[in-house]
Structure 1
Amino acid sequence: MALAPELAARSALSRICVRCSVSLRRQARVRNGFLQSSQQQQQQQQQRRTFAGKSSRIEPADISRASPPQVAPKPQSHVAKRFSSDFSKTAFSSSGPSFGTQPGQRVLEADNLFHSFTNSPIPEIRRRAAFIRQHASCPHPHHQPGGDMAPAHVDFECPDCGIPVYCSEEHWADDYEAHLQICDTLRQINEDDHDLRSGRLFPEFEYAGPQMEEALINMTNWDTFLYTRNFNAINDDRSMRQATRLLTYPVTIGSILHELSPYSLKAGGRLTAEGIKSFSALRYTLHPPKTGGGMDVKGLRVEAPPVRLFILGARAESSLPRNAWIQLAHLFPRARIHLIFIGPESMMNRDDEFPLPPRTPSNPWGAIVEDRVWHSMKISTIVDYYHTIHKTGYFWPYDPYFDCFVMFHPGLGHPASSHEWEETLPMLLETKAPIIVTGYTQEDMERDINWVHKTAAGEFDVLLEPGENRFRSLRWDLNDMDPQDISAGNWGVWAFRGKRYETTRKNSEP
């Protein structure tokens, strides 16, 4: 069942933190209101079919007398219908008080967004607090290696940020100076999570349409980008954080591949000499000249194949609302784009599309193909490891003019996931196509870079120097396994590719 754009955006935002526990995400998928709404509709349809089978001819008046009266909702405005966070009658579900059961009902006001996680009026946040208490450890030095106390789970909520952070009030007070460094950010996370489920309208999820070719895009920062792309004005910092949390994925790619990219060869531009070679090839394809083609037979012109963007290790980004990914097509209106999400978790949060298509000779990997996302964009999703597909030559040949790899927070150097990339990295370097990589934090990005240097030393060229992403998410995320670990989506970005050896000719002696 397709969700309204705003409803899909809110659903993606509520589950986009891929660093949280998988078990918690599974609970959210089972307990969220969207699945229950689908079940209720199926029950209503079954009741209608049962009632209709009792009589071959029933007039509308008879139905109104025979069945409980159902009041049709009042017609809403276009914006209210698409961007009401309670458009679904089951936006929130719990064993406690029911919130958001009527369209347009406001659960929390703008001046009442701060609540402790444990005593939150939102059931989903209360469950999240229970999960943190069960899995997060107290960060007090006495519980760390070398301390005089055994590890303990957090149990005390800071009154300033409302999140369980220490095992007791005594340890919280004793380590208050260390906690004070992130307390304000944790409070902001708290309020943003409650705002997402407050029941307000979300006009920031109404994205801009196609771009006039005469109107140039300014990619200096988020403000100039949204303004030159004709987005609705976002005057509230919280609304800006909610909007950028989704847009960071397509805009990060577009900001690097666009001809008006803020990354350049100038001092501080971070683009290397090898980088301008690789990205110029892609920009040549993404910004084709006008051909003078028309709609009739005489106006037919040969078109270049689509640019393939391989999103490897795809997780939450594969479930983003499609109107967010369409923004990438609006940045390149005269090019065709094929997004390919690949990874064992690429169908996460997309339970309504299971079971997966069978693997057939025409679709050997059981890909889910969305070919009508936009007239110039197609999206494919494959639930498998990339190195398994690469060995079969399914996507061969690779062309630096038409192919690019993107990895959002891949965890290349993380001890829990680095082994999954050992076989993939040499294959990516063989393609000689650009590889764009993002990281949650400076530490996360540096860990990935060190792993690449250690695994493929001398076999790759850096295209974009590591640094902070101009279009990172302005909203901070909380790691439920460690409340001290806060990060921002796509905080940093860098790029590399396999080393290309130029052919040189030696002058022959006479």
Structure 2
Amino acid sequence: MEPSIRLATSSVCRSCLRSARRTTAPTHVARNFSGLAYSRRRSTNLTAQSSPISPLRKSFSLFGSAQPKSADDGHSVTTNAPADGEKQKLVLHPDDLFHSYTNSPIPDMRRRAAFIRQHASCPHPDHRIAHAPSDGKAPPVESNGTQPPAHVDFECPDCGIPVYCSEQHWAEDYERHLEICDTLKQINEDDHDLRSGRFFPEFEYAGPQMDEAPVNLLNWDTLLYTRQFEAINDDRSMRQATRLLTYPVTIGSILHELSPYGVRKGDRLTPEGLKSMSALRYTLHPPKTGGGAGIKGLRPEAPPVRIFILGARAESSLPRNVWVQLSHLFPRGKFHLIFIGPESMSNRDDEFPLPPRTPTNPFGAIVEDRVWPTMKISTIVDYYHTLHKTGHFAPYDPYFDCFVMFHPGMGHPASSHEWAETVPLLLETKAPIIVTGYTQYDMERDIEWVNKTCRGEFDMLLEPGENKFRSLRWDLNDLDPQDISCGNWGVWAFRGKRYETMRKDAEEETTRST
């Protein structure tokens, strides 16, 4: 860009400038997002007794890929990212997105079909149960099926996904399949859309928010409008955009002073929750102090709010401009995001090797400073309870600390042992803990486990319910096509119980006055 043009753009609004860039050189800004290893999903136990992998540790590209790394680990990666500067070829047109997985023109989809056929079981009642279903429906005590379990092989012509072992079983159980057939077709088209090679304008995010323009956190439409995002007029593009933004916006919608969660009836925030959230909001919405860049403008500032994201997996590999949206929701707030978990560097092996553990960096933390002027990101590949016992992050302050767990699977038999030592330590901090779930059953199972493990030792801050900023895109479990869910469907929050105390002399004065 010539210097004269660069100076001229300083007086042009952001929307006009973005439109001009797309008009003049669209081929230089087109990006392919299909190679981002972004999301991880649940997987079911491969046998009725046990499974070597956690049901919440299945990892594949959010953008639909299920290319397996091996036949037995339940994980997958994508390898079709174009080289830098390579022109992306349009593979599918917007009106030609429905293809069966087996006959798809995209190799990733064909490999995914083969993976589903190899691992998923036919749900027809004539088959004996091979393993407990993962959709939250309790299996019968005794199965009336006389046929042995069989893998799926027949693709439904309406949704294009292998769902039954034969056409006969599909026809006999068609009425039950109709309950999810339309959703499976939508998943199919969304997966092909992300590999179609088109330009994705929905992944261009808005910049900083003006102080004079408050955001509206009522729902996705009002948020994107008040944040001055480019208009998204297509439902499919809306689903793709919210699948990424659900992670930072879910946190921001709870901590913001204009949060849709209040103490009024039906708004789900409890009185104890108002106390905890008010403390964080006081820090994240500081008053203007009249400070400036010069010496005379120096003012004392509060430290950044630390958000500990525990059990981090795909959220730690999200594009950083997605997490920067959290800073834009709080123009005067400062954040330090800390991803903690043994899988927090999954799908990021090619970025850089893990730093050695030294006296100055005892846990080998990867620090990404100045992701944004008000945001820093750290990643630690370790369990949180190991860090807590060393006092590495102590002391904890309810005004500056918050814990977040995205789909932790605390109540699942295959992963609950990983949290048995962590949750009691979290309660000791008295800081709020925000938890999400894939489905209502997944969320209720986590709550039941916390009630059973820490009964009487915690206060509910946010009553469980559907997340106003859940992902609008549905996901498919490759190990069980009947199991469909969406990212961050439900959200709730709790905290270690705080006991109110009263001084003895004040208590005596109260007794005398009565």
The amino acid that maps onto 1:363 is N
- Partner Cα distance (2:406, 2:451) in 1: 19
Taking a change above 3 Å as real, the CA distance of residues 286 and 22 of structure 1, as seen in their structure-2 partners, is closer
Equivalence for 2:94: 110
Find the aligned partners of 1:219 and 1:226 in 2 and give their Cα distance.
9
Q: Which residue does 2:198 correspond to in 1?
A: 200
The structure with the largest helix share of the pair is 1
Specify the alignment match of 1:378 in structure 2: 376
Q: Does 1:467 align with 2:494?
A: no
TM-score w.r.t. structure 2 length? Answer: 0.83
Compute the displacement of 1:231 (Å): 0.2
Match of 1:258 in 2: 256
Q: Judging changes above 3 Å, is the alpha-carbon distance between structure 1 residues 403 and 31 closer, same or farther for their aligned structure 2 residues?
A: closer
**1:394 to 2:417 alignment:** no
1:224 to 219, 222, 225: 222
2:311 corresponds, among 310, 313, 338, to: 313
Q: Counterpart in 2 of 1:123?
A: 107
Range moving further from structure 2, 189-198 or 138-147: 138-147
* CA distance in 2: counterparts of 1:301 and 1:131, whole angstroms: 59
Aligned residue number for residue 477 of structure 1: 475
Equivalences for residues 315-464 of structure 1 within 5 A: 315-464=313-462
Matched, 1:140 2:124: yes
Q: Sequence identity, in percent? A: 75
Shift, 1:5, TM fit: 9.2
CA contact (8 A) 1:17 1:477 kept: no
Shift of 1:7: 4.5
Residue deviations 1:74-133, cap 9 Å, x none? Answer: xxxxxxxxxxxxx763xxxxxxxxxxxxx1421000110000001111111111111100
Q: CA deviation at 1:503?
A: 0.5
Indicate whether 1:242 and 2:265 are aligned.
Answer: no
Once residues 120 and 149 of structure 1 are traced to their aligned partners in structure 2, the CA distance between those partners, rounded to angstroms, is: 31
Residue by residue over 1:427-468, the C-alpha shift from the partner in whole angstroms, topping out at 9 and shown as x without a partner, is 000000000000000000000000000000000000000000
Distance, in Å, in 2 between the alignment partners of 1:8 and 1:454 is: 46
Change beyond 3 A, Cα 1:505–1:490: same
Quick check: 1:311–1:406 contact (8 Å CA) kept in 2? Answer: yes
Q: Secondary structure at the match of 2:378?
A: strand
Q: Is the 8 A contact 2:261 2:269 kept in 1?
A: yes
One-letter code of the match for 2:79?
N
Instruction: Name 1:99's counterpart in structure 2.
Output: none
Query: How far off is 1:217 after superposition?
Result: 0.5
5+ long unaligned stretches in structure 2: 1-27, 44-57, 61-66, 130-142
Structure 1 partner of 2:41: 18
SS in 2 for 1:503: coil
Q: Given that residues 129 and 163 in structure 1 are in contact (C-alpha distance below 8 angstroms), is that contact kept between their aligned partners in structure 2?
A: yes
* In 2, Cα distance between equivalents of 1:149 and 1:337: 57
- Of residues 61, 79, 82, the one that matches 1:32 is 79
Contact 1:9 1:320 in 2 (8 A): no
CA-CA distance at 1:30 after TM superposition = 6.2
Instruction: Supply the distance in 1 between the matched residues of 2:415 and 2:32 (Cα, whole angstroms).
Output: 29
Residues 29 and 442 of structure 1: CA distance in aligned 2, closer, same or farther (over 3 Å): closer
- Of the three residues 188, 191, 195, the one matched with 2:189 is 191
Amino acid at match of 1:275: G
Q: Offset at 1:18?
A: 2.8
Whole-angstrom CA distance in 2 between matches of 1:348 and 1:453: 31
Distance (Å, rounded) in 1 between the aligned partners of 2:477 and 2:85: 28
Q: Distance in 2 between matches of 1:360 and 1:279?
A: 36
Read off the aligned partner of 2:478 and give its amino acid letter.
D
Distance 2:98 2:488 in 1: 26
- Contact (CA 8 Å) 1:9, 1:321: kept in 2 or not? no
CA distance in 1, matches of 2:33, 2:377: 18
Measure the CA separation in 2 of the matches of 1:408 and 1:7. 27
How large is the RMSD of aligned CA atoms in angstroms? 1.8
CA distance in 1, matches of 2:424, 2:389: 12
Shift of 1:26: 3.9
SS state of the match for residue 308, structure 1?
strand
In the TM superposition, what is the alpha-carbon distance from 1:162 to its structure 2 partner?
Answer: 0.3
Secondary structure at the aligned position of 2:181 is classed as: helix
Partners of 2:337 and 2:377 within 8 A in 1 = yes
After TM superposition, give the deviation of residue 10 of structure 1 in Å.
Answer: 4.0
Residue 302 (structure 1) aligns with: 300
CA distance in 2, matches of 1:193, 1:110: 12
Structure 1 132/216 Cα, relative in aligned 2: closer, same or farther at 3 Å?
A: same
Match of 2:406, as an amino acid?
F
Please give the TM-score of this superposition, normalised by the length of structure 1: 0.84
Q: CA deviation at 1:142?
A: 1.3
The answer for the alignment partner of 2:8 in structure 1 is: none
Q: Name the CA distance, whole Å, in 2 between partners of 1:137 and 1:15.
A: 26
Q: 1:391 to 1:6 in 2, by over 3 A?
A: farther
Cα distance change of structure 1 residues 26 and 341 upon mapping to structure 2, 3 Å threshold: farther
**Cα separation, partners in 2 of 1:414 and 1:437, compared to 1, 3 Å:** same
Distance 1:450 1:384 in 2: 26
- 2:484 corresponds, among 469, 483, 486, to 486
CA displacement at 1:413 relative to structure 2: 0.1
Q: 1:271 to 1:161 in 2, by over 3 A?
A: same
> Is 1:5–1:323's contact at 8 Å kept on the other side of the alignment?
no
Residue 149 (structure 1) aligns with: 147
Following superposition, the deviation at residue 298 of structure 1 comes to 1.3
Q: Please say if residues 281 and 400 of structure 1, whose CA atoms lie closer than 8 Å, have aligned partners that are also in contact.
A: yes
Determine the structure 1 residue equivalent to 2:164.
166
Stretch deviating more after TM superposition (348-357 or 476-485): 348-357
CA distance in 2, matches of 1:338, 1:6: 31
Deviations 1:38-65 (A, max 9, x none): xxxxxxxxxxxxxxxxxxxxxxxxxxxx
